[in-house]
Amino acid sequence: MKSQIENFKQHLINQAKSNNTVRNYTSDVTHYFNIFDTINRNNIQLYKSKLSHLSAKTINLKLSALKSFNEYLLGEGLMNNVEIIKKDFIKIQSNGNPTNVTKKQVSNFLNNVSEKSNIYKSRNVAIIYLIANTGIRREEITNLKLKGLNLEIGELVVLGKGNKERTVYLNDTAIEVIKDYLIDRMKHKFFDSEYLFLSERSKKLHKDSINYIFGLYGKNEDKVGVHQLRHSFATSAIEQDILTLPELQDQLGHSSLVVTSQYTHARKENIKKKINNLRIGL
């Protein structure tokens, strides 16, 4: 089975699945076959029992990996039936809007970014404000290339999950911070790099450096992460009636409109305010 798992891994790569998907799927399938020799209905039920200490979301992710492997084997003529079926997955009630930072937190964080002095200030401001105003992902930031940037028409070519390219549109704020950064970038020792954002040690910024940069500007209640800023952009775009769902889907690079639709739910902070104003009884 080990060789089939390796073949499955290559199959996922050929389908342009993201690195995380390839890694997680092969890891979950390997975990299953460390316990069982075959995929069948009885083993799937036993496997779910062994996973019962995990969250429903985690169990569903592991089952999704097995289902994908099952379908791969079916396509290769190595299995006759799909053994992981719809009822195996645990139904999960929607958690609503994933944006868990308030507007005030985001505002305070961005103010800190603008005001705090730093040797790489223009670069850091450009990175953070670009995420805040476009919603692009951390790894997408590191893969941005100069040739994909057109400030005259406000467009940016982004390499997203599964190596899929999309065009992201820039507002005036994003254009302004990038222009400021490009002036300083010309003085950088790696100015001839094809990548937009540079590191002191290389011609491309590593994704872990993005987390470090974010950590420079937020303390305690004012701390905001990359994903939180992406979520904040998405929710704000819907709340302010700036983008339609399909438009937001394109901007964020979601493969499914269902994923994007979670941002139509009210922010938790808004729900809490309304609940606090509700008085029943005493």
Number of residues that make up the chain? 282
Residue-range domain boundaries for the chain: 2-88, 103-267
- Total-model pTM: 0.70
Write down the pLDDT at residue 263: 85
34 contacts: CB under 8 Å, gap ≥ 6: none
- What integer pLDDT is reported at residue 93 of this predicted model? 66
pLDDT value, residue 282: 62
Angle between helices 226-239 and 207-215 (to 10 degrees): 80
Half-sphere exposure at residue 257, Cβ-oriented, CA atoms within 13 angstroms: 4
- How far is Cα 185 from Cα 178, in angstroms, rounded to an integer? 10
Residue 128's pLDDT is: 97
| Rounded Cα gap, residues 119 and 142, in angstroms | 19
- The reported pLDDT for the residue numbered 96 is 72
Identify the three-state secondary structure at position 150: strand
| Whole-number pLDDT of residue 94 | 63
Query: What does CATH list as the number for 103-267?
Result: 1.10.443.10
**Amino acid identity, position 168:** V
Catalytic positions, written as ranges? 137, 161, 227, 230, 254, 263
Please give the Cα distance from 9 to 19 (Å, whole number). 10
Q: Tens-digit pLDDT profile for the chain (282 aa)?
A: 788 999 999 999 888 787 888 999 999 999 999 999 999 999 999 999 999 999 998 999 999 999 999 999 999 999 998 899 989 999 876 667 778 888 888 999 999 999 988 889 999 999 999 999 999 999 999 999 999 999 999 999 999 887 889 999 999 999 999 999 999 999 999 999 999 999 988 899 988 899 999 999 877 677 899 999 999 999 999 999 999 999 999 999 998 888 888 888 777 777 777 777 777 776
- pLDDT at 226 (0 to 100): 92
What is the per-residue pLDDT for 268? 75
Residue type, 279: R
Considering only CA atoms, which of 263, 231, 245 is closest in space to residue 138? 231
Task: Report the candidate in 10, 87, 82, 73 with the shortest Cα–Cα distance to residue 45.
Answer: 87
Has domain 2-88 been given CATH number 3.40.50.10540?
no
